[in-house]
């Protein structure tokens, strides 16, 4: 199968490309490298001994994107490309809606024109907003608290309408919980620009000595130890979820818009994550409790029943493995792909 992977040079994209190459998929990656490095794909090629066709291009460049469809015949698209920083989206909403929503519309219109009607979309648990009830099922009410989240929710609405309009479309919207960790080789991993927004990359940078301490955003939530609880999922488990989604779409009976949670179903607190990381790295993580971060929820974790039923997929890796693999990547590449 020949697959177009938008945003395939990024964190989740590069891990998914690796798993797909191992299963002999042919891949064309289309990425503008706005938040990634081509080195990630070079390392993927080295690890798998297989080639990825790379095209540097932007989803907002319609002519270039269309050329790709003129030159190749795709069986399906995996659509990772997007901007993802919540705080930045509040400061630059137009940029986020343009890149994420308009970029996706461009892609869908060209897919329709070239009769490629299978897509796996990178959605997020952010579409559940502030959870009313836990665990979150695919039927939980959707709402958002920031422009990034709204861009994901708007794309889901567009995909739902598209699927309703034409029964030939097969659309799987994977709602990721909190992806962390790295490939076990330590060759590819998460390489944030500037100060990390997310917990695990921040802890990793403290452990490797790039930052003095972690700020814990509040310890007065009504959770087991007062700190926020999330459903952390190993990025390799997440990558395998995409393979399961592609296989599901080849089943002739599957059609329409299918949202699926990709999480482990387990919630861990910040203090538990710090402890697990200290154990995996042998380093102490100094921290200070500061005030809550605006927009954060106390607790968020998935009901994973539907993912197993629909895809036969289940996350397998423990938080010990997530921390050990994140540490291997960070300690061997302290400056990410610039190391």
**84 binding ligand UFG? (CB under 6 A):** yes
Phi, psi dihedrals of residue 121, rounded to the nearest 5°: -110, 140
Residue nearest to ligand NAD (CB): 10
Instruction: List the structure tokens of 329.
Output: 């990547």
- Which helix H or strand E contains 259, and what residues bound it? strand 256-262
Q: Is 148 assigned a catalytic role?
A: yes
DSSP helix/strand/coil, 102: helix
**34 binding ligand NAD? (CB under 6 A):** yes
**264 binding ligand UFG? (CB under 6 A):** no
Give, as ranges, the residues between 21 and 80 that touch ligand UFG (CB under 6 A). Answer: none
**170 binding ligand UFG? (CB under 6 A):** no
Q: Are 251 and 209 in contact (CB under 8 A)?
A: no
Residue 229 vs 244, nearer CB to ligand UFG: 229
Q: Are 299 and 228 in contact (CB under 8 A)?
A: yes
Q: Least CB distance from residue 41 to ligand NAD, whole Å? A: 10
Number of residues that bind ligand UFG (CB under 6 A): 20
Residue 124 vs 140, nearer CB to ligand UFG: 124
Strand pairing partners for 173? 121, 259
**72 binding ligand NAD? (CB under 6 A):** no
Pick one of ligand NAD, ligand UFG, none as the site partner of residue 60 (Cβ within 5 to 8 A by kind). Answer: ligand NAD
Exposure string over 279-298, b if 16+ CB within 10 A, otherwise e = ebbebebebeeeeeeeeebb
DSSP helix/strand/coil, 75: coil
**149 binding ligand NAD? (CB under 6 A):** no
* Residue in 228, 242, 259 with CA at minimum distance from that of residue 7: 242
**80 binding ligand NAD? (CB under 6 A):** yes
Interacting residues with ligand UFG (CB under 6 A): 84, 86, 124-126, 149, 178, 197-199, 202, 214-217, 228, 230, 270, 293, 296
């Amino acid at each position: 199968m020949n697959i177009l992977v938008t945003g395939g040079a990024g964190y989740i994209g590069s891990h998914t490309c690796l798993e797909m190459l191992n299963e002999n998929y042919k891949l064309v990656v289309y990425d503008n490298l706005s938040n990634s490095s081509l080195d990630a794909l070079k390392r993927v090629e080295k690890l798998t001994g297989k080639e990825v066709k790379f095209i540097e291009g932007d989803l907002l460049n319609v002519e270039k994107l269309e050329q790709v469809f003129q030159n190749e015949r795709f069986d399906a698209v995996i659509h990772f490309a997007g901007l993802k920083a919540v705080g930045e989206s509040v400061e630059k909403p137009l940029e986020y809606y343009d890149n994420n929503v308009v970029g996706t519309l461009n892609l869908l219109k060209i897919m329709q024109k070239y009769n490629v009607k299978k897509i796996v979309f990178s959605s997020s648990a952010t579409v559940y907003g502030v959870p009313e009830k836990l665990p979150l099922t695919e039927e939980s009410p959707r709402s958002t608290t920031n422009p990034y989240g709204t861009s994901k929710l708007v794309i889901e609405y567009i995909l739902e309408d598209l699927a309703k309009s034409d029964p030939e479309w097969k659309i799987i919207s994977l709602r990721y919980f909190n992806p962390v960790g790295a490939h076990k080789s330590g060759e590819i991993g998460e390489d944030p620009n500037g100060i990390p927004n997310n917990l695990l990359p921040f802890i990793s940078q403290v452990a490797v000595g790039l930052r003095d301490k972690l700020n814990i955003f509040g310890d007065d939530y009504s959770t087991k130890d007062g700190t926020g609880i999330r459903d952390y999922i190993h990025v390799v488990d997440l990558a395998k979820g995409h393979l399961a989604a592609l296989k599901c779409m080849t089943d002739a009976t599957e059609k329409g818009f299918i949202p699926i949670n990709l999480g482990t179903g387990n919630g861990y607190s910040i203090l538990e994550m710090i402890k697990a990381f200290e154990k995996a790295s042998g380093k102490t993580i100094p921290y200070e409790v500061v005030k809550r971060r605006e927009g954060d929820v106390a607790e968020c974790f998935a009901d994973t029943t539907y993912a197993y039923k629909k895809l036969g997929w289940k996350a397998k890796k423990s938080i010990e493995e997530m921390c050990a693999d994140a540490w291997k990547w960070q300690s061997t590449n302290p400056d990410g792909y610039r190391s």
